[in-house]
Amino acid sequence: MRKTPRLLEQARRVACGEVDQALVGTRVEAQGWVQTTRKYGQLLFISLRDAKGSLQVVWNAAKADAAQEIPQDLHEETVVRISGTVLARDEVNVNERMKTGHVEVALESLEVLNRPVVPTAIPVERRLRPRPGTDRDNNNNNNNNKGAKKTSKTHSGLASQAARLRSRHLDLRGAEMQRNLRVRSALLQGARSALTEDPLDFVEVETPLLFKSTPEGAREFLVPTRNGEPGTCYALPQSPQQYKQLLMAGGIERYFQVARCFRDEDGRADRQPEFTQLDLEMSFATAGDIQGVIETVLGRAVTGARTQAERFARGIETWPTSTNDKTHRTAWEASYIPAPLRAFAEVQAPFARMSFEEAMLLYGSDKPDTRYGMKMKAVKGFSRLDTAMANSKHYSARAFRIPADVASAWTPSRKVWEELAASALSDVPRHARVGLVMVRTSSSGNLEALRLGPSPPTSIVPMFKALNDDEKAELVGALGAREPGDAFVMAVCEYEGAPHRVGRDALCEALGRARVAVGEATGEKALAARARPLDIFWVEDFPMFELGENDELRSTHHPFTMPRPEDIEVLRAFRCSDTDRSANSCGPSQAEVLEIRAQHYDLVCNGAELGGGSVRVHNADLQRHIFRHVLGISEERIEAYFGHLLAALASGCPPHAGIALGVDRLCAILLETPTISDVIAFPKSVAGHEPLTGAPTRVPDEALAEYHLFARK
Amino acid sequence: MRKTPRLLEQARRVACGEVDQALVGTRVEAQGWVQTTRKYGQLLFISLRDAKGSLQVVWNAAKADAAQEIPQDLHEETVVRISGTVLARDEVNVNERMKTGHVEVALESLEVLNRPVVPTAIPVERRLRPRPGTDRDNNNNNNNNKGAKKTSKTHSGLASQAARLRSRHLDLRGAEMQRNLRVRSALLQGARSALTEDPLDFVEVETPLLFKSTPEGAREFLVPTRNGEPGTCYALPQSPQQYKQLLMAGGIERYFQVARCFRDEDGRADRQPEFTQLDLEMSFATAGDIQGVIETVLGRAVTGARTQAERFARGIETWPTSTNDKTHRTAWEASYIPAPLRAFAEVQAPFARMSFEEAMLLYGSDKPDTRYGMKMKAVKGFSRLDTAMANSKHYSARAFRIPADVASAWTPSRKVWEELAASALSDVPRHARVGLVMVRTSSSGNLEALRLGPSPPTSIVPMFKALNDDEKAELVGALGAREPGDAFVMAVCEYEGAPHRVGRDALCEALGRARVAVGEATGEKALAARARPLDIFWVEDFPMFELGENDELRSTHHPFTMPRPEDIEVLRAFRCSDTDRSANSCGPSQAEVLEIRAQHYDLVCNGAELGGGSVRVHNADLQRHIFRHVLGISEERIEAYFGHLLAALASGCPPHAGIALGVDRLCAILLETPTISDVIAFPKSVAGHEPLTGAPTRVPDEALAEYHLFARK
């Protein structure tokens, strides 16, 4: 290190946050940011901060050498190098809650290394954000509002998300992002260690990001190249799926990668155009093998993350050693360690399993949050509905109950209800018509009010018009009222000319969206989340195909997924080109193929999909059959887009299975951040804009011309 | 795991390569590839291979249950699952050199999981490639040719590089790539562990790959986006340089990342359009701090890599436990562990240091291979040259000696010499004219032959024309002949109207290229490399700027590099717009600025640059001065391209320094592979083409139209 003349040569270089009583009497040199300065007569106190914590530095003008002069304008965030001698604080000045609270440094010299523009664009926030349900949260006086949604906006005093992204370098300097990035790093390193060490013994392989354009899935970013004819492009991969399957054919029996992936989608909330997956694949593996690996790896990763979170928090506030008992530690943890991170320790492997069917029927979602009730069930015994159902087999109804105590505190206006219903019905596929009905019972248990959703299908409306008292009682009974004051949300679905599954899923999903909306509006979701901060389990037995916009079959996940063994025969016999199947009934019907289950599994956590995986097709003939005769891709396109994969499968590729977990989402859940942006160093806005650097930008026409491209004027 | 009826339920699942005597008597189930089959009467021997090694499986038709039938067509690379009982081999059948050589499995059932196309496109090579200088290399009968260049082509029996890339999945299944990818994974994990653990305590941060287009450096890939006006693009980063500096401003005091980087260059040999860097940055750090971190991290990384290489090699051949002495182990290591990986253990930290000036003057390169001699020195005492130099201060000459024993074995034809000279002179900047001369002395020490390079500058040619005997003797003396038969290569440089450094560097570089070419042609380079497989050191004190094509100053590395403290004053006083400096001589000259040294350091290994780094400019004013008044960038462009960086520096950014190491190159050197493609799972060809998937491809016009782009027809 270059010597600065003003510094004493013997000074020992230390981190601010690590100066403790063992160093009393030692001359030290420290570097960091001026956090605060306070003047008391002849004394100047400087709180100096670095990544490890804060240190109190004292300048005594009365004792100082006349030759020395301390700059007067030590604004906050000035970067300085100081030297001085570590002294024990007087007992009355000891700060038990600070790691360095027993000492201070008597300043001997100070050098300004860099001065900030004053004032800084946003304050550098040294506090962690209050967590829901903690003392610090209570002090923020929003705890009485049981159902308040926690977003960054409710924490007053913090800069807005937009301002934070514009001045990300200052935002990163604050405690919240410092903690989040360190925890994320420790999480990934924990996962990597578990994967690379015995017994798992995975090999990390970096796969190309300059990939080939493919026709499947969401939109991909193109990367033009000057090699080849004009219009020749690479594509940025949406996942390393094909490469990892090639690695399986290549005998890398256990592969993993922390992989950057890309998706060019129009601004979906809380999505990023580039994101990170923990991606792995194993030869000779079953679904259970993969799930076991993930359970082990997550355990190790989260342990690493929690250790880092604790370490970081102790740099801000430590618990007094004199009262280092369990109660105090528990209170400290509640304040500083996000609840899901604490709760993970109690999750036992193997995680729970739920079938796709159960998830849909009970929660109307393939990624349900099971922590709050309002489970859905079939409605039977309301004669108008029973009659309608008897007349059509494509008709069904399900409902969930809002318990009386919750219902009494939540009385949405017609407008609020209609918005909720409209949003629940917004994604219903065209084959199905779904009506949404809310029913309230009175304190005597009678039907008190009945509200229909917006523009329900005509055949559903009349059913609820002008009910007589008997019918009202019948409806309340059919819904399964348990106590006076219960309310219900019911969905009725009509679907004709479509396979059974399409109608059922449409009904369940619409009611499931209503369930989430009611859970959020009533605060039940937040309440349950506080009581049980982590809800993690596998969803299995997904349908292999779904209906596309033109009634064609398309893969629910991707075309490389293996069906259950018992379904392979049906699949192999199917040919989508046999259009007139009724006349020529040799093969299975589309409806039968829609019932095929895939060996696919999703990991679901707190109502979000953390990731998904599957056993893959390892047989070239079966894979070709799926492309050609189920998905209806032409031979020519199969060869152009998937020829390399088919060749690899045909080269003696072992059976294999894998999974990919979303690292951003996992971190956001564990750290309870309102958005994934808070666990990414330089996130992009919803429109794909990076407020700090201004990317993307309009490039000069000459730059495009290099690639033989022209922009439309 | 799904039960296959034919397999016995109690079978224990094992890896082929891990079955040993401890399992004798146990029923096992194993999965893998059929490597070979041999028939002896009623016996069928199957060698079954997985990632851990090979296992001998025996089928005894005489003893077999009639209900069981073994498929007859077990071609190589068929994927099977077998079960059977582990038996000890008869003593005569024990294979001491195989980890599983003491046992075999008596086959009870076999299930074919996948069949390969027969024959496979390229053979799956189970041997590691012979390493230079080993017994196995000697057996390949090319050791007598002392100077033979080792490339993949010389190892007969292996598929060509092109065929290997086309069938990469099969190539990956071979021992060489299996080993290389595992070693690479272990190397990176070793580095990550060292970095994230105490005491280094670095934080891994993922920075965006969808970055902003910048004007500096090599060409960048563009990524069009649909957001914004037509022609709006992201750019793929050439390095995370700006983001890591933003992280320093953001208080992430110790950052690292294994970062993917991109460079759209026209096919440079052994470069990839995407490559991996171990990238790090530290606040409050000096060059020495960074070098110390790298020395520690490399030590740990290489230890991990070596352990993995040994582990892998023992799956192919192990040394007999009965003769587990040092001699045997040494021979085994020489065969299976690449020499640089072995040699690294003997490198002491701190690594050696060499100044840029020394590197240029002695070796004519900023990344010299110092293992072989032929050091360059100034030529003085040849009167014709001395006269020319006296007449012009822009004139100089250097030479290196080819010792007599080497020179006697290397007598290049005129054509070979001229090609060598032409290639050495190919990159001379336009300001300088360099002539190359080869001088041979006879067995009596007289000048025997003199050859000029192609088209030397006119003023240099006459100097060597028609020398009389005195002049010949004078020349031999001036060159510093030590023994009869010595030869010399000399470079003479004339440069006028250019700063001193430009001429000197042009001379040294041309002669340095000749030195490398002669080292390769004579085999001295290869010989020295065998004697000392690893040559690693730091090169420091680089010039901060160089002359661009229009005599403008440009950064030698990048514009964020900090000059040495003693040079800052000159730099701050310089203004490139003061064109008429002679009249208005207030500021330093361009020549003075060209003498400024940067706080930059390169890590050089075996004549290649492993990586480079520097102390960065942390002061916004100095950075702005460099952009505006040294590099001559307009205020408007500074704001557009670097505004965010300047704002971050001005926000209280600490002093910081960093480095980036090329992971691909490091792996290739340690594993002695002829190209970096051999340490990358899916490399691209020189033209940026991926032979396996066919990327890049011509995308449909509609895909481009999504981005408001048109391809030129």
Tell me the pLDDT tens digit for each residue of B253-310: 999 999 999 998 876 778 899 999 999 999 999 999 999 999 999 999 999 999 999 9
Among A266, A273, A708, beta carbon nearest to B210: A273
Average pLDDT over residues B630-653: 95
Nearest CA in chain A to B641: A693
Question: Domain tally for chain A?
Answer: 3
pLDDT score at B158: 63
The tokens describing B604, both together, are 């050089």
- Cα–Cα distance measured from residue B219 to residue B215, given in angstroms and rounded to the nearest whole number: 9
Decide if B713 is inside a domain: no
CATH assignment at residue A712? 3.30.930.10
Q: Which of A114, A143, A172 is the last residue of a domain?
A: A114
Nearest CA in chain A to B190: A193
- All residues of chain B having their beta carbon less than 8 Å from the beta carbon of residue A170 are 249-250, 651
pLDDT score at B578: 66
Among B182, B234, B618, beta carbon nearest to A203: B182
Residue A497 has pLDDT above 50, yes or no: yes
- All residues of chain B having their beta carbon less than 8 Å from the beta carbon of residue A712 are 230, 708-710
Question: Using 50, 70 and 90 to split pLDDT, how confident is the model at B431?
Answer: confident
Neighbours of A416 (CB within 10 A): 13
Residue B456 has pLDDT above 70, yes or no: no
Neighbours of B480 (CB within 10 A): 16
- All residues of chain A having their beta carbon less than 8 Å from the beta carbon of residue B213 are 695-697, 699, 703
Decide if A625 is inside a domain: no
- Cα–Cα distance measured from residue A343 to residue A615, given in angstroms and rounded to the nearest whole number: 30
For A156-220, strand residue ranges (E) read 203-204
Nearest CA in chain A to B122: A651
CA of B126 to nearest chain A CA: how many angstroms apart? 12
Residue B251 has pLDDT above 70, yes or no: yes
Instruction: Looking at the structure, tell me whether residues A158 and A264 fall in a common domain.
Output: yes
Residue B147 has pLDDT above 60, yes or no: no
Instruction: Looking at the structure, tell me whether residues A403 and A340 fall in a common domain.
Output: no
pLDDT score at A8: 43
pLDDT digits (tens, 9 = 90+) for A372-386: 999 999 998 898 888
pLDDT score at A324: 61
- All residues of chain A having their beta carbon less than 8 Å from the beta carbon of residue B236 are 209, 223
pLDDT score at B329: 83
pLDDT score at A9: 52
- Cα–Cα distance measured from residue B574 to residue B331, given in angstroms and rounded to the nearest whole number: 61
Mean pLDDT, chain B, as a whole number? 88
Residue B200 has pLDDT above 90, yes or no: yes
Lowest mean pLDDT among A234-248, A311-325, B434-448, B608-622: A311-325
Nearest CA in chain B to A642: B693
Average pLDDT over residues A477-484: 92
Among A116, A225, A711, beta carbon nearest to B652: A116
Instruction: Looking at the structure, tell me whether residues A181 and A251 fall in a common domain.
Output: yes
Nearest CA in chain A to B206: A681
pLDDT digits (tens, 9 = 90+) for A422-445: 999 988 887 788 889 999 999 888
- Burial state string for A326-359 with b = 16 or more CB within 10 A and e = fewer than 16: eeeeeebbbbbbbbbbbbbeebeeebeebebbeb
Decide if A609 is inside a domain: no
Cβ of B246 and A692 within 8 Å?
Answer: yes
Residue A368 has pLDDT above 70, yes or no: yes
- All residues of chain A having their beta carbon less than 8 Å from the beta carbon of residue B206 are 260, 276, 680-681
Lowest mean pLDDT among A5-9, B305-309, B409-413, B568-572: A5-9
Decide if A653 is inside a domain: no
- All residues of chain B having their beta carbon less than 8 Å from the beta carbon of residue A288 are 1
Residues B390 and B381 sit within 8 Å (Cβ to Cβ) = no
Decide if B17 is inside a domain: yes
pLDDT score at B442: 92
Residue B537 has pLDDT above 90, yes or no: yes
Cβ of A708 and B712 within 8 Å?
Answer: yes
pLDDT digits (tens, 9 = 90+) for B76-93: 999 999 999 999 999 999
Instruction: Looking at the structure, tell me whether residues A132 and A69 fall in a common domain.
Output: no
Instruction: Looking at the structure, tell me whether residues A150 and A257 fall in a common domain.
Output: yes
pLDDT score at B150: 38
Cβ of B178 and A252 within 8 Å?
Answer: yes
Peptide bond into B696 cis (omega under 30): yes
Lowest mean pLDDT among A1-5, A16-20, A156-160, A408-412: A1-5
Nearest CA in chain B to A651: B116
Decide if B466 is inside a domain: yes
- Cα–Cα distance measured from residue B517 to residue B426, given in angstroms and rounded to the nearest whole number: 13
pLDDT score at A378: 94
CA of B274 to nearest chain A CA: how many angstroms apart? 7
Decide if B462 is inside a domain: yes
pLDDT score at B433: 85
- All residues of chain A having their beta carbon less than 8 Å from the beta carbon of residue B704 are 222, 231, 233, 709
Residue B139 has pLDDT above 70, yes or no: no
CATH assignment at residue A409? 3.30.1360
Question: Using 50, 70 and 90 to split pLDDT, how confident is the model at A600?
Answer: very high
Phi, psi of A352 (to 5 degrees): -65, 155
The tokens describing B359, both together, are 């590197």
Lowest mean pLDDT among A1-5, B482-486, B523-527, B632-636: A1-5
pLDDT score at B280: 98
pLDDT digits (tens, 9 = 90+) for A208-237: 999 998 865 458 899 999 888 889 999 999
Instruction: Looking at the structure, tell me whether residues A266 and A233 fall in a common domain.
Output: yes
Residue A489 is inside which H or E element, if any? strand A487-495
- Cα–Cα distance measured from residue A15 to residue A112, given in angstroms and rounded to the nearest whole number: 17
Cβ of A223 and B227 within 8 Å?
Answer: no
CATH assignment at residue A51? 2.40.50.140
pLDDT digits (tens, 9 = 90+) for B567-587: 999 999 999 886 544 545 578
- All residues of chain B having their beta carbon less than 8 Å from the beta carbon of residue A236 are 209, 223
pLDDT digits (tens, 9 = 90+) for A149-206: 333 333 445 678 888 999 999 999 999 999 999 999 999 999 999 999 999 999 999 9
pLDDT score at B579: 57
Decide if B175 is inside a domain: no
The CA radius of gyration of chain A, in Å to the nearest whole number, is 31
CA of B70 to nearest chain A CA: how many angstroms apart? 18
Cβ of A212 and B654 within 8 Å?
Answer: no
Instruction: Looking at the structure, tell me whether residues A191 and A292 fall in a common domain.
Output: yes
Residue A241: closest CA among A212, A284, A270: A212
Lowest mean pLDDT among A285-299, A688-702, B618-632, B659-673: A688-702
Instruction: Looking at the structure, tell me whether residues A153 and A279 fall in a common domain.
Output: yes
Cβ of A695 and B212 within 8 Å?
Answer: yes
Cβ of A708 and B711 within 8 Å?
Answer: yes
Question: Using 50, 70 and 90 to split pLDDT, how confident is the model at A316?
Answer: confident
Residue B383 has pLDDT above 50, yes or no: yes
Q: Which of A113-127, A694-708, B126-140, B283-297 has the highest mean pLDDT?
A: B283-297
Q: Which of A91, A114, A137 is the last residue of a domain?
A: A114
Average pLDDT over residues B560-570: 96
Q: Which of B114, B146, B174 is the last residue of a domain?
A: B114
Mean pLDDT, chain A, as a whole number? 88
Cβ of A249 and B222 within 8 Å?
Answer: no
How many cross-chain Cβ pairs, A to B, lie less than 8 Å apart?
A: 395
Question: Using 50, 70 and 90 to split pLDDT, how confident is the model at B530?
Answer: very high
Nearest CA in chain B to A247: B169
Average pLDDT over residues A486-494: 92
Cβ of A189 and B196 within 8 Å?
Answer: yes
Residue B148 has pLDDT above 50, yes or no: no
pLDDT score at A321: 59
Which of B166, B682, B704, B706 to substitute to test the interface with A, most A CBs within 10 Å? B682
Question: Using 50, 70 and 90 to split pLDDT, how confident is the model at A525?
Answer: very high
Strand partners of residue B605? B536, B608
pLDDT score at B48: 96
Average pLDDT over residues B188-199: 97
Residues A241 and A558 sit within 8 Å (Cβ to Cβ) = yes
Instruction: Looking at the structure, tell me whether residues A133 and A247 fall in a common domain.
Output: yes
pLDDT score at B466: 82
Which residue range(s) make up the domain with B56? 12-114
pLDDT digits (tens, 9 = 90+) for B587-603: 899 989 999 999 999 99
Instruction: Looking at the structure, tell me whether residues A74 and A165 fall in a common domain.
Output: no
pLDDT score at A679: 97
Cβ of A209 and B207 within 8 Å?
Answer: no
Among B79, B192, B684, beta carbon nearest to A652: B79
- All residues of chain A having their beta carbon less than 8 Å from the beta carbon of residue B709 are 704, 709-712
Nearest CA in chain B to A707: B711
- All residues of chain A having their beta carbon less than 8 Å from the beta carbon of residue B684 are 208, 210
**Share above pLDDT 90 across residues of chain A, in percent, rounded to a whole number:** 66
Instruction: Looking at the structure, tell me whether residues A459 and A432 fall in a common domain.
Output: yes
- Cα–Cα distance measured from residue A356 to residue B681, given in angstroms and rounded to the nearest whole number: 36
Cβ of A260 and B618 within 8 Å?
Answer: no
Question: Using 50, 70 and 90 to split pLDDT, how confident is the model at A142?
Answer: very low
Cβ of A210 and B262 within 8 Å?
Answer: yes
The tokens describing A23, both together, are 């160093």
The arrangement of strands across the sheet holding B352-355 comes to B203-204, B254-262, B274-283, B656-662, B608-615, B600-605, B536-540, B352-355
Lowest mean pLDDT among A17-26, B294-303, B434-443, B699-708: B699-708
CA of B684 to nearest chain A CA: how many angstroms apart? 9
Average pLDDT over residues A5-28: 83
Instruction: Looking at the structure, tell me whether residues A231 and A254 fall in a common domain.
Output: yes
